[in-house]
Chains A and B, each alone.
Chain A
Amino acid sequence: MTPLGPYASFIVTSYAAVAIVVAALIAWVMTDYRRQKKRLRDLEAAGTTRRSGRSATDLS
């Protein structure tokens, strides 16, 4: 890697901002998926099923 020179703080801050926002997007998608699956499992455990009879958490 080449030295970043006098403007290193601008370069590092840019890459850090991208890393933080992308990590936040990934975390949002993953936690939302887990939350929805849990809600579906809870509803099915309470006896509420789809009209088709298939499990709501079945993705296949």
Chain B
Amino acid sequence: MTLIDLANPSRFLALASRILPWLVAATAIVLAIGLYQSATAPDDYQQGATVKIMFIHVPNAWLSMFVWSIMSVAALGTLVWRHPLADVAQKTAAPIGAAFTFLALVTGSLWGRPMWGTYWEWDARLTSVLILFLMYLGLMALWRAVDDPSRAARAAAVLTLVGAINIPIIKFSVDWWNTLHQGESVFRMGGPTLDRAFLIPLLVMAVGFTLLFLTLHIAAMRNEILRRRVRTLQMLQAGRPQDRA
């Protein structure tokens, strides 16, 4: 099966129904291992047990950017190739990405209070992630505001691509500006600065949350395709002669 075959919604539904049970199982297993490792990880010599918040904060923060990146690729699919599943992928990723971004903000805030002495600071990293969260909400509102799905898809695709400018700003904000938020400690030149006792649970949790996103996204795409079938059948029903009388 080639990628172009998946452009057919019926083939996508068939594939989704086959792989979703495996994805659910893999997500549950990896997250269970990650949670166990997080619970049994040692305390940090400076942060104490609050380092455990890192194991959920960082995967959510990473996914907040990853989901927008996926949506940007889907936006190109909508605008350039008019791929039948591209706007389905984009539309269904937005609420999931908004949830992960919300969790990154909440867990970061709860981590910041004991470590920095404040829940919130208007520094570059925190502010740019808040803007990302607002952009997710704006995109969801746009989908709801435009009745015609194809017009909504194009408008949302343009907004998504414009909003993609924020992703490198978030990523490099800790390098470009003097921020309260700590610098990059995992994906950096010269390797991670984290000790293996923290790095391994963090990476397992990151894989677990990424699997969770893939599972939720494929399930939500399946739902959206069914919703569009409902809409098509409702239009057919409305057009039937016996229903017009």
Contacts and interface: CB of A to CB of B under 8 A. Distances in A.
B223 A18 contact: no
Which secondary structure dominates chain A's binding surface? helix
Interface in B1-54: 13-14, 16-17, 39-43, 48-50, 52-53
A60 B14 contact: yes
Contacts of A5: 43, 48-50
Contact of A36 (B17, B57, B223): B223
A33 B103 CA distance: 24
Nearest to B35: A15
A14 B226 contact: no
Interface string A19-58: 0011011101110110011011001101011100000110
Most central of B52, B95, B229, B232 by chain A CB within 10 Å: B52
Contacts of A18: 56, 60, 103, 107
A2 B56 contact: no
12 contacts: A1-B39, A3-B49, A14-B111, A17-B110, A21-B99, A26-B216, A30-B219, A32-B220, A36-B227, A40-B233, A48-B233, A50-B233
